[in-house]
Chain A
């Protein structure tokens, strides 16, 4: 049993290695085009965690390869909590997370590096005749105190909450930022991704939920939060508080290639070019705490 596990592990490693060789080749070809090469770094970086941050980091990985052809970066998902746990145990160099560090990992010498702001937007089915709710109204709806839209000024219609599972980072963010630690009601429909939440809300009358801002589209109606619609400007001005900071965690201070990669994806150059198009907020535009 142990052996068979080891074997599959070896096989997986061989696969990853094989793929990284290909990735490395691609990088070295692009390298010739790049003119200014900063200080030489080399080595292998492994990162796991938040799937929300993965698309952005993939872009970062490709751009980074153009500058450093001796570095191999293995990015994988697994969820924020997995990323935190793996970086704490030393299984990966970087743990990407869109939630704060878990309480039991706080004394493990883990250092966080802010990557981007991740904004969330509350959305409702289009037949809901409301376009703004106050913080208190959101809390009352999400904790199950208010169950009919007429109690918040809408028509007589039952509220159906459609959102994410208890292991979801998005849910943890809303629980911290909006509910301030109060618990969601269990009387809700759970979907396992942003896209699934959106399509369920689009087809369920009286439904409300939340998604990453990048997922809002014409099939649903975005709600204002305390009278403020989501925009990067509104977040910068401190008027729109429903966002979290995506972080890259390292065990101890980052060094070598890991530090170079983190410095690169948090640099103004990379952030201004790629972050907004992926639906995130550049760290420079987050309000100062």
Chain B
């Protein structure tokens, strides 16, 4: 009996150590990545004025101009437009999925949405460049078809599964007693969804929307294939421009590591990382907030 207990305790310790080391490896990797990216990125400021980097859109590294404003604006613009389209669409889809869809439809749609999330972004980009870009050209009569509109359109589709699945989970988690109470008081089904389910699930829905935005701003491949990647401010939704990730991926292959040019790409990566981390921080803040006291 005692022997058994000792070996069990030893096993416990072993497994405990395993978990601890797994967790610390995870932590170390994230911290190492942060340190490395900031170390390389911040070295840019030895050669480049921060004001120039953030407030000029003149990007000619071979002439010593490192203005990244057009990339930052490009990133923010595609994220904003994609969430304007994808956000409402995703929330409506989540309401349907969680509250209105018959059971058989739900059993088909739930795995379908997960599958949707697993589509590699290069597939979206490929369809974008072969189908959406020519379609935009024909429908709007523009010459190229590359630009913020096309990129946002593809991103809106890409972020849908994130928005839908997280919002649907939040809506499903609304206590049935609340809804039943509302219906018992004579409210219609729609009134119940609008006044009870939605406000109760709001923190979850906002989490879904913000995570969707985080996915949109970091998306590289699909955007790179359709945005045009040119370092200029977008004059319209249909003129080619660039985003932070697309500029990094286009330039990194030929940019010497450790040069001002290479460092400035790391600085862009750092800016992206900070924006994403802010979004995660917002999500954490929101998820602890309860809209309706139960």
Q: Give A contacts to B, CB under 8 Å.
A: 1, 4-5, 51, 77-82, 84-86, 157-158, 160, 165-169, 183, 186-192, 199-200, 203-206
Contacts and interface: CB of A to CB of B under 8 A. Distances in A.
A82 B130 CA distance: 33
Contacts of B253: 51, 77-79, 167, 192
Contacts of A167: 61, 251, 253-255, 261
Contacts of B256: 79, 81-82, 84-86
B230 A190 contact: yes
15 contacts: A1-B32, A77-B253, A81-B256, A81-B259, A82-B256, A84-B256, A166-B60, A166-B61, A166-B62, A166-B251, A187-B232, A188-B228, A189-B230, A190-B240, A203-B129
B240 A165 contact: no
Nearest to A190: B229
B144 A165 contact: no
Given A1-B32, A189-B144, A203-B133, A168 B228 contact: no
Interface string B244-280: 0000011101111111010000000000000000000
B229 A165 contact: yes
B282 interface: no
A186 B232 contact: yes
A204 B135 CA distance: 11
Nearest to A199: B129
B55 interface: no
Nearest to A170: B254
Nearest to B39: A1
B234 to A, nearest CB: 11
B65 to A, nearest CB: 11
B254 A191 contact: no
Interface residues of B, number: 37
Contact of B143 (A51, A77, A82, A160): A160
A177 to B, nearest CB: 16
B228 A79 contact: no
Nearest to A103: B62
A166 B229 CA distance: 11
A265 to B, nearest CB: 22
A183 B63 CA distance: 11
Contacts of B71: none
A158 B146 contact: no
B81 interface: no
B36 interface: yes
A168 B62 CA distance: 11
Contact of A189 (B32, B228, B259): B228
Contacts of A186: 230-232
A191 B224 CA distance: 8
Contact of A166 (B28, B36, B59): B59
Contacts of B90: none
9 closest A-B pairs (Cβ-Cβ)? A79-B254, A190-B229, A158-B143, A167-B254, A186-B232, A85-B256, A189-B228, A165-B250, A192-B250
A106 B137 CA distance: 47
Given A5-B36, A167-B251, 4 more contacts: A187-B232, A188-B228, A189-B228, A189-B230
A4 B228 contact: no
Given A4-B28, A189-B144, A165 B254 contact: yes
A248 to B, nearest CB: 17
